[in-house]
């Protein structure tokens, strides 16, 4: 079958969510075309030829941007089977149906996409979390890494690659969109698969790798194996990871390992400096915990990049000003992306935020 995979937004990086299923589908004998609409215009001829058109929806922004694209695809090829897949697909069922989507898959989508292509596009929603035998992603027809976001370190600008060493998360933070899907489960990607993907991107020019795991320390032993092998096999290549404040405290002894293996910075979803809000979000840390982590990072000379949900139903002018003043006091102004001062709490379908009576009343 001719399969068209589309990405509408993936934070300025080459979309893993196209490269991974492309490898599976091509291995099964299907003719696959990948189009990243952040870098390439929609190929209308490719749309007309496709029997299956599948759109990758890893986040809310990608989902909203996909809606007019789905309408255009349906107009060009009304006989094509339309599929939406990724974390936000099962969180957006109603609106996707309104735009003609036949099949909706969750974030463990590779085998299901192969099954749909094999069945000539029979509608089969699948929101389960199968245990997959991961393959190395196939990036052969995606735009070069040089066309994506880069990392600047001093005067040097580095081409950035992206991969995943695990999926899902074993925590159940109340506001997190991963929780309605994974509900405390996570999946490990074998070390050899991760390193093969990294090596291929390094060969294509990457000098920095972003590990997109929701939390790199969900499996700390696995994480250390990955970064030690990366440092050994790709000397001089830097990387970044995302880790909870709770894990940064629990696995404090591993922080020098990150630094010494080339970690350029660690992103941590701090979310708020208000302990009442942190308790509502069930983040697993306090304001004091975050300040301890910030001090520890400064002590060992490892860069911390905190992220926030600046606006929640409980944000006040006082707490917002306190957020700004604390970031300044901790010397983290340069480490916080400006957009973090404007992020609003998102409550998708199935969110645990709806367990709170005052949130239900507001919604």
Q: Where are the beta strands (DSSP E) in the chain?
A: 2-7, 31-36, 52-56, 81-85, 103-104, 150-153, 156-163, 166-168, 186-188, 208-211, 238-242, 263-271, 304-308
Nearest one of 300, 298, 361 to 334, comparing CA atoms: 298
Q: Are strands 166-168 and 186-188 parallel, antiparallel or unpaired?
A: antiparallel
Average pLDDT over residues 141-163: 96
Confidence of residue 77 (pLDDT cuts 50, 70, 90): very high
The residue among 123, 57, 49, 121 whose CA lies nearest residue 92 is 57
Model confidence at 223: pLDDT above 80: yes
Q: What is the pLDDT of residue 175?
A: 96
Query: Residue 201 contacts by C-beta under 8 Å, 6 or more apart in sequence?
Result: 139, 145, 161, 162, 163, 209
pLDDT score recorded for residue 255: 98
Say yes or no to pLDDT of 293 above 90: yes
Does 72 have pLDDT greater than 70? yes
Question: How many angstroms separate the first and last alpha carbons of the chain?
Answer: 43
- Coarse DSSP helix, strand, coil percentages of the chain, rounded to the nearest 5 percent: 40, 20, 40
pLDDT at residue 131, as a whole number: 87
Span 178-205, pLDDT tens digits: 999 999 999 999 999 999 999 999 999 9
pLDDT band, very low/low/confident/very high, at 243 (cuts 50, 70, 90)? very high
Tell me what the mean pLDDT of segment 210-233 comes to. 98
What is the pLDDT, as a whole number, of residue 121?
62
- Tell me the Ramachandran region of residue 100: left when phi exceeds 0, alpha when psi lies from -120 to 50, beta otherwise: left
Contact call for residues 109 and 117 (beta carbons, < 8 A): no
Are the beta carbons of 184 and 220 closer than 8 angstroms? no
pLDDT at res. 130: 87
**Residue 264 pLDDT > 80:** yes
More confident residue, 330 or 154: 330
Return the structure tokens found at 270: 């701090």
Query: Where residue 126 falls among pLDDT bands split at 50, 70, 90?
Result: low
Q: Is the pLDDT of residue 128 over 90?
A: no
Say if CB 349 and CB 169 are below 8 A apart: no
Q: What local confidence, expressed as pLDDT, does residue 349 receive?
A: 87
Cα gap 284→306, rounded to integer Å: 15
> Rg of the chain's alpha carbons, rounded to an integer?
21
- 85 closest CA partner among 135, 125, 45: 125
Percent of the residues in the chain that have a pLDDT greater than 90, as a whole number = 94
Arithmetic mean of pLDDT over the chain = 96
Q: What is the DSSP string of 49-78?
A: H-SEEEEE--SHHHHHHHHHHHHHHHHH-T
What value, to the nearest 5°, has the Cα angle with vertex 107 and ends 103 and 113?
Answer: 45
Whole-angstrom CA distances from 82 to 48, 244, 276 are 12, 36, 43
Assigned token pair, 257: 């390992």
Given a contact cutoff of 8 angstroms between Cβ atoms, the answer to whether 257 and 244 are in contact is no
Please, are residues 141 and 163 in contact by the beta-carbon 8 Å criterion? no
> Above 80 in pLDDT, residue 352?
yes
């Amino acid at each position: 079958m001719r399969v068209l995979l589309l990405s509408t937004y993936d934070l300025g990086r080459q979309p893993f969510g196209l490269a991974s299923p492309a490898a599976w589908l091509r291995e099964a004998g299907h003719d696959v075309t990948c189009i990243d609409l952040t870098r390439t215009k929609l190929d209308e001829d490719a749309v007309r030829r496709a029997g299956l058109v599948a759109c990758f929806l890893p986040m809310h922004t990608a989902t909203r941007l996909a809606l007019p694209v789905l309408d255009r695809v349906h107009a060009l090829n009304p006989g094509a089977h339309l599929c939406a897949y990724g974390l936000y697909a099962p969180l957006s069922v109603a609106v996707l149906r309104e735009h003609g989507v036949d099949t909706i898959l969750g974030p463990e989508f590779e085998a299901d996409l192969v099954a749909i292509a094999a069945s000539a596009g029979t509608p089969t929603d699948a929101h389960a979390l199968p245990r997959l035998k991961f393959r190395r992603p196939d990036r052969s027809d995606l735009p070069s890494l040089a066309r994506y976001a880069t990392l600047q370190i001093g005067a040097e600008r580095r081409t950035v690659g992206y991969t995943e060493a695990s999926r899902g998360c074993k925590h159940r933070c109340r506001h997190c969109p991963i929780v309605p899907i994974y509900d405390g489960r996570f999946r490990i990607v074998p070390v050899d698969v991760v390193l093969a993907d990294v090596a291929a991107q390094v060969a294509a020019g990457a000098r920095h790798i972003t590990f997109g795991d929701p939390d790199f320390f969900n499996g700390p032993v696995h994480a250390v194996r990955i970064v030690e092998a990366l440092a050994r096999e790709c000397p001089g290549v830097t990387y970044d990871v995302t880790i909870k404040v709770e894990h940064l405290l629990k696995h404090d002894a591993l922080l020098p390992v990150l630094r010494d293996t080339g970690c350029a910075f660690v992103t941590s979803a701090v979310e708020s400096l208000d302990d009442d809000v942190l308790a509502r979000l069930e983040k697993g840390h306090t304001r004091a915990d975050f300040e301890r982590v910030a001090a520890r990072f400064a002590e060992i000379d490892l860069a911390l990049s905190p992220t926030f949900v600046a606006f929640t139903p409980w944000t006040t002018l006082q707490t917002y000003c306190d957020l700004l003043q604390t970031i300044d006091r901790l010397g983290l102004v340069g480490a916080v992306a400006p957009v973090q001062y404007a992020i609003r709490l998102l409550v998708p379908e199935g969110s645990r935020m709806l367990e709170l009576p005052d949130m239900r009343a507001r919604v």
